[in-house]
Amino acid sequence: MAESPLVEVERIAKKFCRDLDRSARHGLLDIFAEAVGRRRPGELRPGEFWALEEISFTLARGEALAVIGPNGAGKSTLLRLIAGRLGPDRGRIVVRGDAAAIGDLGVGFDPLASGRDNARHAATLLGLGRRESERQLEAILAFAELGELAEAPLGTYSTGMRARLGFAVAAHLAPDVLLVDEALAVGDLAFRRKCMQHMASLPARGRALLIVSHDLYAVQVLCPRALYLERGRLAAIGPTPEVVGAYFEARQGDLVRALPAAETPGASGPAAADGRAAGPFRIESLAIEPLDRERIETGGAARVVLRYVAERDLEPVAWGFQVCGVDLAAVLANGIGATEADGVRLTAGRGELSCEIPRLPLFAGRYALRGGLIEPWTRGVLALSGFEDAPCYFSIATPRDERHNLGRLSGALVLLETEATRSMPLPEQSARHVTGGP
């Protein structure tokens, strides 16, 4: 028979009130209504809103689950509900076994007491018995890497040292379910690595781990499964790379909605207003489209198409395009027919120029496409699109996997592919020269 999950969350909802006075009145009415059996928690009263609504999931023994989402999505509220600090207004939560929550590290520390005394008191407050606290004390102090400063007053510690002590205490709890709220970025790089390794070991020891975090790198390393909250509702749940990818795409959608209305996605704007449109050559439209997939993706093939109107034949002509970020700073550029020998021909009437991009090296995001027709001899501009008028806006999607998610976390726009990666030892003399030795 399959073991029951350690945490079951079934269609829970939680509401809050924006107004403090109304919240106090509602609370008194709730106490009275519950006493007489007439409370109706499913209804919103003036000033109330749903912080969480219709959330369901399970967490099994040996499993790690990440909860991600923007600020105000309800992540910390969900953790407090599971920890028992709040009660749901609808639905039910079942926690089998002990649960402990790590939130604000070091809350309740006494700045006049030593690090050792603070560790002892904090361990007791977090649920360890007195004997267990004494037994774990040296391990806690060693984990925090305080050394001789363990006997110094906490008020002499840096902020990072206090956080390290707080995490060290929390790390030595042994609950069946550990709930972590934004407590991963602690201390320097070496200590953060130690924290990550400790968290990663918990599921292997039969614990269940639920992490609320904005650190999308950490959750992809620690948690095979993730839950994405958006405005108190469940937006996605599943394998972490896919859920993080969905979160990226939703955040990019916010940027798209913030664009001015005149910048219509997917189409170039009207002709330039400086008189070039009245000349013998005009760019009618500029677009980019996928070749081998239903949407434009990182690494996929794409085609750039420029449609023009010409009053007469002209040869040779150079044409090119720029791919820009939404701030219109160029990211990629290309010129075709830049010399007389390799120029293209414009035919009187309406025509089309196109080129193919075998592998698009851009990460997911919102981009702008601008182009132009140039005369190679004089470098004179024949027609432009997207410079003095609105460019063609388009979106690039990225596969939802860990490699591409990490690239997006770095803030990079271009995915550079390399070949022939090699690893070889250097002679001892060369190695000393490289490292600055004598």
Over the stretch 137-195, which tens digit does the pLDDT of each residue have?
888 899 888 888 999 999 898 888 888 888 888 778 778 888 888 766 666 667 777 88
Overall average pLDDT of the 98-107 stretch: 72
Question: Distance of alpha carbon 166 from its chain centroid, rounded?
Answer: 26
- What average pLDDT score do residues 214-243 get? 89
Q: Which pLDDT value is given to residue 262?
A: 38
pLDDT at 199: 84
pLDDT of residue 84: 87
Position 105 confidence tier, pLDDT thresholds 50, 70, 90:
low
Number of neighbours of residue 103 by Cβ within 10 angstroms:
18
- Cis peptide before 265, with omega less than 30 degrees from 0? no
DSSP result, 24-78: HHHHHHHHHHHHTT---TTS--TTEEEEEEEEEEEE-TT-EEEEE-STTSSHHHH
Average pLDDT over the chain reads: 80
Is the separation of the CB atoms in 219 and 209 below 8 Å? Answer: no
Give the model confidence (pLDDT) of 223-233 as tens digits.
Answer: 999 999 999 99
Q: What integer pLDDT is reported at residue 146 of this predicted model? A: 86
Name the percent of the chain lying above pLDDT 70.
78
Q: Classify residue 239 as exposed, middle or buried by CB count within 10 Å of its CB (0-12, 13-18, 19+).
A: middle
| Greater pLDDT, 402 or 321 | 321
C-beta atoms surrounding 240 within 10 Å: 25
Is domain 60-253 given the CATH code 3.10.180.10 in the classification? no
Residue 92 DSSP label: E
CB atoms within 10 A of CB 109: 21
pLDDT at position 324 is: 87
Q: Which residues contact 258 (CB under 8 A, 6 or more apart)?
A: none
Percent of the chain as helix, strand, coil, to the nearest 5: 30, 30, 40
Q: What's the rounded mean pLDDT across residues 213-226? A: 86
Which of 18-32, 99-113, 388-402, 412-426 has the lowest average pLDDT? 412-426
Span 276-301, pLDDT tens digits? 445 789 999 999 999 988 889 888 89
Mean pLDDT lowest among 277-286, 322-331, 392-401, 405-414:
405-414
Is pLDDT at 318 greater than 80 in this prediction? yes
Please write the tens of the pLDDT for every residue from 18-58. Answer: 877 777 776 777 776 666 666 666 677 778 888 999 999 99
Order of all β-strands in the sheet with 7-17: 48-59, 7-17, 90-95
- Whether 263 has a pLDDT exceeding 50, the answer reads no
d(CA 120, CA 132): 10
Residue 248 pLDDT: 78
% of the chain with per-residue pLDDT over 90: 26
What's the CA angle centered on 180, arms 89 and 18, to 5 degrees?
A: 40
Tens digit of each residue's pLDDT (9 = 90 or more) over 73-101: 999 999 999 988 888 988 999 999 888 77
pLDDT at 147: 87
Q: Tell me the C-alpha distance between 300 and 159, whole Å.
A: 47
Judged against a pLDDT cut of 50, whether residue 337 lies above it is answered with yes
Average pLDDT over residues 411-434: 64
pLDDT for position 124? 81
Do 232 and 51 meet the contact criterion of CB atoms below 8 Å apart?
yes
Tell me which residue has tokens 């130690």. 194
For residue 74, give every residue at least 6 positions away whose Cβ sits within 8 Å of its Cβ, in sequence order, or none.
Answer: 14, 51, 52, 55, 229, 231, 232
- The pLDDT assigned to 194 comes to 81
pLDDT of residue 256: 45
CATH 2.70.50.60 location in the chain: 276-400+405-409
Look at 343 and 135; give whichever has higher pLDDT.
135
Residue 360 has pLDDT above 60, yes or no: yes
User: Above 80 in pLDDT, residue 405?
Assistant: no
Mean pLDDT (whole number) for 253-261:
47
For CATH 3.40.50.300, the residue range(s) in the chain are 60-253
Work out the number of other CB atoms within 10 angstroms of the CB of residue 157. 20
Note the CATH number of domain 276-400+405-409: 2.70.50.60
The closest of 317, 323, 273, 275 to 296, measured between CA atoms, is: 323
Per-residue pLDDT at 8: 95
Question: What would the DSSP string read from start to end of 159-228?
Answer: HHHHHHHHHHHHHT---SEEEEES----SSHHHHHHHHHHHHHHHHTT-EEEEE-S-HHHHHHH-SEEEE
Other CB atoms within a 10 A radius of the CB of residue 235 amount to 16
Q: What is the pLDDT of residue 67?
A: 95
pLDDT confidence of residue 362? 86
pLDDT(438) > 50: no
pLDDT at position 274 over 50: no
Q: Dig out the tokens for 310 from the structure.
A: 């010409």
DSSP state of 148: G
pLDDT value at 275 more than 60: no
357: three-class secondary structure by DSSP: strand
Residues, the chain: 438
Please give the average per-residue pLDDT across 241-252, as a whole number. 80
